[in-house]
Structure 1
Amino acid sequence: MAWAATAAWSVQAQSAAPSLWDTALPAPQLKSSSQLQELIPAATREQLPSYIKAEQISGQADINAVLEGGAELRRGDTVIRADRVEYTLADDTVNAQGNVHINRGGNVYQGAALKLQVDAFQGDFTNATYQFLETQGHGDAERVEFIDRDNSVIYKATYTTCLRDDSASWEPDWMIRANRITLDRVEDVGVAYGGALEFKGVPILPVPAISFPLSDKRKSGLLPPTIGIDSVSGVEYSQPYYWNIAPNRDATITPTLMSKRGISLGTEFRYLEPTYSGVLDTLYMPNDKLRDRDRWGYNWRHVTSLHSPVGNLGLQWNLKRVSDDNYWRDFSRMPGEGSRFGSSDQRLLSSDGLLSWSAGKHYVSLYAQKWQVLQDIDAPIAPPFNRMPQLQWRYDTTSWATQGWDVNLMAETTRFEADTWDQQKRPDNGQRSYVLSQVSRPFLLPGGFITPKVQLHASNYQFDDFSSTRPRTKSFAIPTLSLDSGLVYERDTALLGRNYLQTLEPRAFYTYTPYRDQSMVPLYDTALTDFNFGSIYSENSYTGHDRIADNNMLTLGVTTRYLKPDDGSEVARLGIAQRLRFQDQRVGVGYDTLGEKGWSDILVGGGVTWSSKWSTDALVQYNRDIQRTTRSSISGRYTPAPYKVLSAAYRYQRANSLPILNQGSEQVDFGWQWPLNGGNKNAFGEATGAGRWYSVGRLNYSMQDKKLVDAIVGFEYDSCCWIGRVVVERLQNSRQAANTRLLFQIEFVGFSRLSLGADPLRSLQEFVPGYRPLRDSNRTVPSRFSNYD
């Protein structure tokens, strides 16, 4: 099949008007009824009529009624059924005996005898059972006292969320057994007094007074505890407490007991206001036995946004500090953040603040940043430069874009300071100022594009210390020219019996930057960019503004894609690109390999979405001179259903392609979440069958070192009304040592709710790709009509 440019569209004329049968009728649209209301307004409720039904009805009109045999009284969202019902109209009172059944807004009560004022919903129910719609929580009681429509008290009561089966010997796995339980449907909170929490028939926690949720609303109370064994801290016990301070404020307080170290207290405070919001995380441990000192850490993230006639004002900061260099080794996470799988980024802690103002086409910002470096004798890190401060101005050029031009204007001045390991000032401290202007004019053509672009980067440096080898000031003015062009062809094709739209997208990118000697300028914020499909079509080989690479090169590449013709989604992608340098590169950062005249490594990459379940991606960097692969990676993911995910990745990098350490790497990464046995599923695809086991984890193995670098392996057990977790976590915290933890946790569904900060759930969410917490609560609250009588 021949290729055709994108802009070439084929149109087939109709020789005759379509018949009536060929006309597509619009699908019928469902509209919500004003009569079906989840909550009936109070004014409407007073005007609702009462409906009665029975095999035999007697009494006096407008005074009372006696219903016998299948008796039923219905008003609004309340239905009362019994063998016999006496209804008095004067005081709106019902007396019911025998198989009494109440359905009020989907919440069901059943018992032997009932006396109730229907509209006020005040009365007593004896020998009753109950079940709530939202949580499916249920239990039984000697007596239920209805105080009003929103409050009730249950005496000699039980409460559980375990679903009853048909067996006569059924007993819930867990339940609260209490002398009295108060239920508040406004706050959706229940409070049990004088009882105990039983698990498998054994009392495990006395409850003189304990509250629990009656819905998915936030409420104060204990969260699931975590019991763990840590190779550094010994036996750990953490008991988080959630404090719902207000609708826009809450806090999680987590005391932790460590057998080898002592007691720590972690807190997370969140606040949300119309113009500002933030999170404050803290941890304090007095007299840590491991280091014989007090340990602490905090992370405060805040954002403010104000709008006024003179412009928009923004203020934000992220303040992060810890007590000592060993903090990252001894604590599993920094305050407010999780440690990354297979990374030591937590050793660099940044505290920064930004004040910004914008009005019209102008944007001005004042930024400050200071680093804390947690040093390791075996792997020291050079302290980064602090920005003390940085002032930036940008000009909005949107109006130019309407005329076909893309213009970028920016000016910035920054004071850079950094401390050496002995806390003495660096000789490289100084002030950098630069102006950056970019102008491009994209031309969109039928089936292609051409974009010429010119850039001028003018910078000035003023150093605190100078010598004969470096002057006190240094200035550069470096222009850059580039021309980006490409074609896009399309054709209809078939592959494996399916029709696709295939594209062919050749691209050519040329850039020229003259040489300017920048070797005497420090690297304040500059680093080598990764060699990938994003950077190969860029003007500069470095990030930041301290190195502008002298480039005279042409990048050639081609990409083909397979798209679904109905929605345009990408099914497959394959691309190849290579650079041709016309002269040797001379500007570098000192640890990189400078580009030589001639062809660069070949970059080949692609991805395939085989189906909604399967996807793969691959990237290969091939060196023609040594005829070997210098870097490669391949990854895949299989997600056939909820709570089922497998991911695997292989990454390889030759030693001479790592510029700093000159060490290669070869690693295999495998992650999973998978059920080990069968179970029923509900409408949300969640496992609801009792006794379903899941395996979950992630392994990172170094083939070069022949050892497991990082690992997390666990098991989860879903028993319908409770969830148990056991997780083993091993994270490398130095070249020679690793920290291993064994974590246990149990959640009583509908009673002790999970939080994002709870372990080991947080570890699974951070480390396992595609992991989904069991019984994910992001679903619609059941309607009262789903349990309608």
Structure 2
Amino acid sequence: MALAWASLPALANAQSAEQEPLPAPVLRPSPMLQEKIPEAARNLQPAYVFGDSISGQADVRAVIEGNAELRRSDTIVRANRMEYTVADDRVQAEGQVHINRAGNVFDGNRLDLEVEAFRGNFTDANYRFLATQAHGDASEVEFLDRERSIIHNATYTTCQRDNEASWEPDWVLKARSIHLDQGTQVGYARGAKLQFKGVTVLPIPVVSFPLSDQRKSGLLPLTIGLDNVSGFEYTQPYYWNIAPNRDATLSSTLMTKRGVNVGGEFRYLEPTYQGKLRLDYMPGDRLRDRDRWAYGVLHQGTIASPFGALGLNLNLNRVSDDNYWRDFTRRGETNRLLNSRLLPSDATLGWSGQDSTLMLRTLKWQTLQDVASPITPPYDRMPQLQWRYTPLNLGHGLDMTVEADTTRFEADPTLTGQPNAQRSYLSAEISRPFLSPGAFFTPKLKLHASQYDFDGALSNGMTSAARTLPTLSLDSGLVFERETQLFGRNLLQTLEPRAFYTYTPYRDQSMLPVYDTGLNDFNLATIYSENSYSGHDRFADNNLLTLGLTTRLIDADTGAESARFGVAQRVRFSDQRVTLPGEVPATDRLSDILFGASINWTPQWALDAAVQYNRETAHSERTTVAARYSPGNYRTISAAYRLQRGTSEQVDVGWQWPIRNPWASEDKGREGGRWYSVGRLNYSLQDRKLVDTVVGFEYDSCCWVGRVVLERLQSSVTTSNTRLLFQVEFVGFSRLSLGANPLQSLKDNIPRYQPLRQTTTVPSRFSNYD
């Protein structure tokens, strides 16, 4: 170990007037500035001492008087006087002692410390941690090693001191002792009490709390609520940090009118697979006089195989009864699918090779029926086997895809009105794209052959059916570009006309049942498709030409798209004859006109619009206009107007915005002492009523955040759920909630909502370097 001594001479760096001024220094990143010093290199680090006067013996002992300072590795000690012994790497200091170790700061009166081992005692000390800016006072700080310490008769808070002499923290944890472990980023307080605004809100003999955003085991904030169906509710969750790649959350809920519900969620993450399991169980629910349960399994992974890559995906969901979605609207915050009336259980085993993929799938639905509004259950796939071949190097610029599929469709025929069946099909398509910088032309030919074998006879006596259909499509377009300026910006404007023609001859498909087919949405994407239907039970007899025009404005400096405008319309050369049951065939030669616009002129503003205009009625059949303004962090306003003529007309507004000084700048939205208004209103102009309502306030007091939110969400045509949610979050410590979590409600309902005091980056030790 090397010991370097240095006194503090008066430095002079005068420069004559004749000399040229030195160039400004340029800072460059250095590989020597390591966030963490490797363990092997620590013992090789020299110790440096500075002071007004130094006495002692080199490499043995040094006594520093006046402005004493010692530096070694990532540790700095300053004091009025200190004595350093080289053999045991020990420093004894007194008088305004200051320690900075990797950005964590301690100040006190007397220190006895083994520097590199960081083992010793510090009396009458105060401290501040870099990662959380938490600070406090203690009668003594006992350093156990570089990661662990014990603070005796301690206080702990993240509230930052102001210039007022009478300043007191809004919240503070007072404890007989606090054990801090920077390695696990967990603190343990014994004989503790939590005070908020001078009032003890939580006396606790032992409590653990995080020293960073890392996960830790322990009790999570309890939930208390009142419900007009369940009565008084009390929920206590417990988080178990099993391993870095596994954790579990266990909870029990007491409902005074119904009973006790227990539940849990287990998550895992491995190099080749990941997933989570969810289970809820309520024995003897007094509301329904039966046991209630629900489970969900989600798994994604690959399996090592000598035959190629195998993948296994599971998505399993089941509940105990048809009323579960209605009675447990709040239980599904970790698995919202369990609140749906259609619950899939889907298992897929897949194999992929160089040019081929093979899939074996089973899908079984649980349909939760309601007498007031019954729904037709979808078909189960028991099972589905599919092979897909896509050669990568076919040659001559050709692209080809071959797909073969056989699926067993099963459901209750008394509910579906048609027999179950085995459907098999073979589909092949080949295309030849011709591409150039200013144009493209892609002819495509597709052939689809299908075979149906029904369990029972159709109304015409058929027990099987077959169909073969060819489809021809021609896709072409041009791209023109020019440089232009608009509002002082250099832009590249494009003009992109496009023509798409598709032809499929007529085949009578009216007697074929419908198992997985639906009508595609009519928009600027599907208008350039060969088939008007999804699935494989209907192929429209299309003889269509689609003409479209798109223009884009691209920032010449960044390449970002600032605006896009498009228009398209179909020309029908023959009447439509193939339809789904209940669908009215199209006979108009010209379709509705589609208009679309997307403007992102600045990162703060965004506008999207889509209009389907009917020439005959001179009205829009569907209109969607959405705008967003987000000038900075924790400031966003969004509004949308949605019209579907004859069905619905709604206005949707969402926001998060400061109330005091709303236009003043702030440090990334983290200014303390500020109120925010948050909410989302969804109003039906047709029904003249609010459909969904989420309104509330947030208060950011620097070291704690308060939220109160009123939530009213429509669950059906005639019923809605109303909740009043409260939450107090002690920044860097914990959250206490009354009712369900309002933070989750705000995230779910407000576009681009940002939680207050959200940690973005972990500070470097060099950001607090002495």
Instruction: Give the shorter-chain TM-score range.
Output: over 0.9
Tell me which residue corresponds to 1:181: 178
1:686 aligns with 2:661: no
Distance 1:536 1:680, change over 3 A: closer
Question: Structure 2 residue aligned with 1:568, among 540, 545, 559?
Answer: 559
Q: Matched residues in 2 for 1:421 and 1:749: separation?
A: 58
Quick one: structure 1 residues 249 and 770, their matched pair in 2 at CA, closer, same or farther if it must change by over 3 Å? same
In structure 1, distance between residues paired with 2:80 and 2:47: 18
Q: Which residue of 1 aligns with 2:151?
A: 154
Instruction: Tell me, in whole angstroms, the C-alpha distance in 1 between the residues paired with 2:123 and 2:459.
Output: 98
Show the 5 A alignment for 1:594-743. 594-655=585-646, 664-678=647-661, 685-689=668-672, 691-743=673-725
Query: Deviation string for 1:469-510 (max 9, x for gaps)?
Result: 141000000111111111111222333343322211111111
Query: For each residue in 1:266-285, what CA deviation from the matched residue of structure 2 results, as whole angstroms up to 9, or x when unmatched?
Result: 32211011221111122223
In the aligned structure 2, how far is the partner of 1:654 from the partner of 1:117?
78
1:40-68 residue CA offsets vs partner (Å, 9 max, x unmatched):
22332212222222223333444433222
Asked if 1 retains the 8 angstrom alpha-carbon contact of 2:222 and 2:736, the reply is no
Give the Å deviation of 1:674. Answer: 1.0
Q: Structure 1's 30 and 330: CA in aligned 2 closer, same or farther, altered over 3 A?
A: farther
Output one character per residue of 1:137-176: Cα deviation in whole Å (capped at 9) or x when no partner: 1111111111222221111111111112222222111121
Counterpart of 1:620, as a letter, is V
Q: d(CA) in 2 for partners of 1:633 and 1:117?
A: 69
Following the alignment from structure 2 to structure 1, what is the Cα–Cα distance between the partners of residues 663 and 693? 31
Distance change (3 Å), C-alpha of 1:598 and 1:382: same
1:788 matched to which residue of 2?
Answer: 769
The Cα offsets for residues 304-352 of structure 1, whole Å up to 9 and x where unpaired, read as 2124442111111000111222222222256465659xxx982111110
Other structure's SS at 2:267 match: strand
Between the aligned partners of 1:674 and 1:545, the Cα distance in structure 2 is: 48
Q: Which of residues 743, 764, 770 in structure 1 aligns to 2:746?
A: 764
SS of residue in 2 equivalent to 1:80:
strand
**2:529 equivalent among 524, 527, 538:** 538
Contact kept, 8 Å, 1:226 with 1:239, in 2: the verdict is yes
Query: Cα 1:543–1:305, aligned 2, differ >3 Å: closer, same or farther?
Result: same
> Paired residue for 2:454?
463
- C-alpha spacing 1:148/1:428, structure 2 compared with 1 (3 Å): same
Local SS of the residue matching 1:161 = coil
**TM-score (structure 2 length as normaliser):** 0.92
In the TM superposition, what are the counterparts of 1:493-532 in structure 2 within 5 Å?
493-532=484-523
**Structure 1's 35 and 504: CA in aligned 2 closer, same or farther, altered over 3 A?**
closer
Give the Å deviation of 1:458.
0.3
Change (3 A) 1:102 1:65: same
Opposite residue 412 of structure 1, the aligned amino acid is D
Which of 389, 392, 397 is the aligned partner of 2:386?
Answer: 392
**Partner Cα separation in structure 2 for residue 680 and residue 227 of structure 1:** 37
Identity %: 60
One-letter code aligned to 1:692: R
Give per-residue Cα distances to partners, 1:112-136, cap 9 Å, x unaligned: 1111222222211111111111111
Q: TM-score, normalised by structure 1?
A: 0.90
Alignment of 1:155-554 (within 5 A): 155-333=152-330, 335=332, 346-400=340-394, 403-419=396-412, 427-445=418-436, 447-467=438-458, 469-554=460-545
What residue identity is the alignment partner of 2:451?
N
Q: 1:485 to 1:270 in 2, by over 3 A?
A: same
CA distance in structure 2 between the partners assigned to 1:292 and 1:630 by the alignment: 49
Cα distance in structure 1, aligned partners of 2:553 and 2:116: 64
- CA deviation vs aligned residue, 1:194-250 (integer Å, no higher than 9, x gap): 121221121211222111112222211233444444444344443332211001101
Q: Distance between the aligned counterparts of 2:206 and 2:277, measured in 1? A: 30
Taking a change above 3 Å as real, the CA distance of residues 337 and 84 of structure 1, as seen in their structure-2 partners, is closer
Higher relative contact order (CA 8 A, sep 6+): 1
Give the superposed CA RMSD.
2.4
Match of 1:22 in 2: none
Partners of 2:36 and 2:112 lie apart in 1 by: 24
Alignment match of 1:580 (pick from 554, 567, 571): 571
Which residue number in structure 2 is paired with residue 751 of structure 1? 733
Match of 1:117 among 106, 114, 119: 114
- Aligned partners of 1:477, 1:89: CA distance in 2, in Å? 91
State the distance in 1 between where 2:677 and 2:367 align: 37
How far off is 1:427 after superposition?
A: 4.2
SS of match in other structure, 1:196: strand
Residues 495-528 of structure 1 show CA distances to partners (whole Å, capped at 9, x for unaligned) of: 3343322211111111111111111211111001
Separation in structure 2 between the aligned mates of residue 432 and residue 51 of structure 1, nearest angstrom: 82
Q: Deviations over 1:416-471 (max 9, x none)?
A: 0013677xx96421100001111111112452211111111100000001045141
**Contact persistence 2:489–2:555 (CA under 8 A):** no
What stretches of structure 2 of length at least 5 have no aligned partner? 1-24
- Equivalent residue, structure 2, for 1:143: 140
**Helix, strand or coil at the partner of 1:239:** strand
What one-letter code is carried by the residue in structure 2 that aligns with 1:200? Answer: K
Letter in 2 for 1:650: Y
Note if contact 2:324-2:339 (Cα within 8 Å) is conserved in structure 1: no
Distance 1:239 1:460 in 2: 56
The answer (yes or no) to whether the contact 1:486–1:505 under 8 Å persists in 2 is yes
Partner Cα separation in structure 1 for residue 653 and residue 358 of structure 2: 46
Q: What does the per-residue CA deviation read over 1:17-55, in whole Å, with 9 as the maximum and x for residues that have no partner?
A: xxxxxxxxxxx9975323212222233221222222222
State the distance in 1 between where 2:618 and 2:559 align.
38
Within 2, Cα distance between the matches of 1:339 and 1:603?
Answer: 35
Match of 2:104 in 1: 107
SS at match of 1:240: strand
Q: Is the 8 A contact 2:329 2:339 kept in 1?
A: no
User: Is the CA contact 1:229–1:742 (under 8 Å) kept in the aligned structure 2?
Assistant: no
For structure 1, the residue ranges without an aligned partner over 5 or more in a row are 1-27, 656-663
Contact 2:64 2:81 survives alignment (8 Å): yes
In structure 1, the partner of 2:7 is: none
Question: Deviation per CA, 1:663-687, whole angstroms, max 9, x where unpaired?
Answer: x111111111111124999997131
Runs of 4+ in 1 over 6 A off after TM superposition: 679-684
2:613–2:622 contact (8 Å) kept in structure 1: yes
Q: 1:410 to 1:367 in 2, by over 3 A?
A: same
Q: Does the CA contact (< 8 Å) of 2:681 and 2:694 recur in 1?
A: yes
Query: Which shows bigger deviation, 489-498 or 622-631?
Result: 489-498
Q: Per the alignment, in what secondary structure is the counterpart of residue 325 of structure 2?
A: helix
Distance in structure 2 (CA, Å) of the matches to 1:773 and 1:420? 50
Query: CA separation in 2, counterparts of 1:701 and 1:231?
Result: 25
The separation in 2 between residues aligned to 1:33 and 1:493, in whole angstroms, is 44
SS of 2:40's partner is: helix
What secondary structure is seen at the aligned counterpart in 2 of 1:596?
A: coil
Contact between 1:696 and 1:716, CA under 8 Å: does it hold in 2?
yes
| Conservation of the 8 A alpha-carbon contact between 1:190 and 1:211 | yes
Q: Rate the CA distance shift 1:264–1:682 in 2: closer, same or farther, 3 A.
A: farther
Q: Is the Cα–Cα contact under 8 Å of residues 710 and 722 in structure 2 kept in the other structure?
A: yes
